[in-house]
Structure 1
Amino acid sequence: MARMTGAKAIFVAMTALFVSSSAALTAPASPLSMATGPVTSQPIGHYEFCQTHRAECAPNGRDTGAAKVTSFGWQTIRAVNDAVNNAILPMTDKELFGKDEHWAYPDGAGDCEDYVLLKRRKLIENGFSPADLLITVVRKPDGEGHAVLTVRTTEGDFVLDNLERDVRLWTETPYRYLKRQASFNPGRWVSIENGDAVMVSSVGK
Structure 2
Amino acid sequence: MKLLQRTLLAAVAALTCSWSIPAAHADTGRFMDLHKPVKAPIGHRQFCADNRRACPNERYEPVVVRLTEERWQELIRVNADVNRRVRPMTDEDLFGKVEHWAYPHNGYGDCEEYVLEKQRILIAAGWPKSAVLITVAKDTQNSGHAVLTVRTDQGDMILDNQIEAVLPWYSTPYRYIKRQSARSPVKWTGIADTRVATVSSVSN
Instruction: Give the TM-score, by structure 1 length.
Output: 0.80
The 3-state SS of whatever aligns with 1:122 is helix
Greater RCO between the two (CA within 8 Å, min separation 6)?
A: 2
CA distance in structure 2 between the aligned counterparts of 1:139 and 1:149, rounded to whole angstroms:
14
Over the aligned positions, Cα root-mean-square deviation in angstroms equals 2.0
Q: Show the counterpart of 1:43.
A: 41
Q: Does 1:61 align with 2:64?
A: no
Q: Show the counterpart of 1:128.
A: 127
Q: Show the counterpart of 2:186.
A: 187
Q: Provide, for residues 43-86 of structure 1, a one-character-per-residue CA deviation record: whole Å limited to 9, x for no partner.
A: 11110110122222224533243121211111111100000000
Q: Show the counterpart of 1:103.
A: 101
> Which deviates further from its counterpart, 137-146 or 59-68?
59-68
Pairing partner for 2:88 from 81, 87, 90: 90
Question: Using a 3 Å threshold, how does the CA distance of structure 1 residues 104 and 201 change in structure 2: closer, same or farther?
Answer: closer
Question: Using a 3 Å threshold, how does the CA distance of structure 1 residues 71 and 60 change in structure 2: closer, same or farther?
Answer: farther
Pairing partner for 1:80 from 65, 78, 81: 78
Structure 1 regions of 5+ residues with no counterpart? 1-29
2:119 corresponds to which letter in structure 1? R
> Which deviates further from its counterpart, 116-125 or 57-66?
57-66
Q: Show the counterpart of 1:113.
A: 112
Length, aligned pairs only = 175
> Which deviates further from its counterpart, 65-74 or 119-128?
65-74
Q: Show the counterpart of 2:50.
A: 52
CA distance in structure 2 between the aligned counterparts of 1:199 and 1:135, rounded to whole angstroms:
24
Q: Show the counterpart of 1:20.
A: none
Instruction: Measure how far apart 1:123 and its partner are.
Output: 0.7
Instruction: Measure how far apart 1:119 and its partner are.
Output: 0.3
CA distance in structure 1 between the aligned counterparts of 2:57 and 2:200, rounded to whole angstroms:
35
| Aligned residues of 1:59 and 1:184 also touching (Cα < 8 A) | no
CA distance in structure 2 between the aligned counterparts of 1:60 and 1:75, rounded to whole angstroms:
30
Q: Show the counterpart of 2:143.
A: 144
Q: Does 1:70 align with 2:72?
A: no
Instruction: Measure how far apart 1:34 and its partner are.
Output: 0.6
Instruction: Measure how far apart 1:39 and its partner are.
Output: 1.2
Q: Which structure has the larger Rg over C-alpha atoms?
A: 1
| Aligned residues of 2:79 and 2:118 also touching (Cα < 8 A) | yes
Q: Does 1:162 align with 2:161?
A: yes
| Aligned residues of 2:111 and 2:161 also touching (Cα < 8 A) | yes
Q: Show the counterpart of 2:17.
A: none
1:113 corresponds to which letter in structure 2? E
Structure with greater helix share of residues: 2
> Which deviates further from its counterpart, 60-69 or 112-121?
60-69
CA distance in structure 2 between the aligned counterparts of 1:148 and 1:64, rounded to whole angstroms:
19
Instruction: Give the TM-score, by structure 2 length.
Output: 0.80
CA distance in structure 2 between the aligned counterparts of 1:103 and 1:46, rounded to whole angstroms:
6
Question: Using a 3 Å threshold, how does the CA distance of structure 1 residues 92 and 201 change in structure 2: closer, same or farther?
Answer: closer
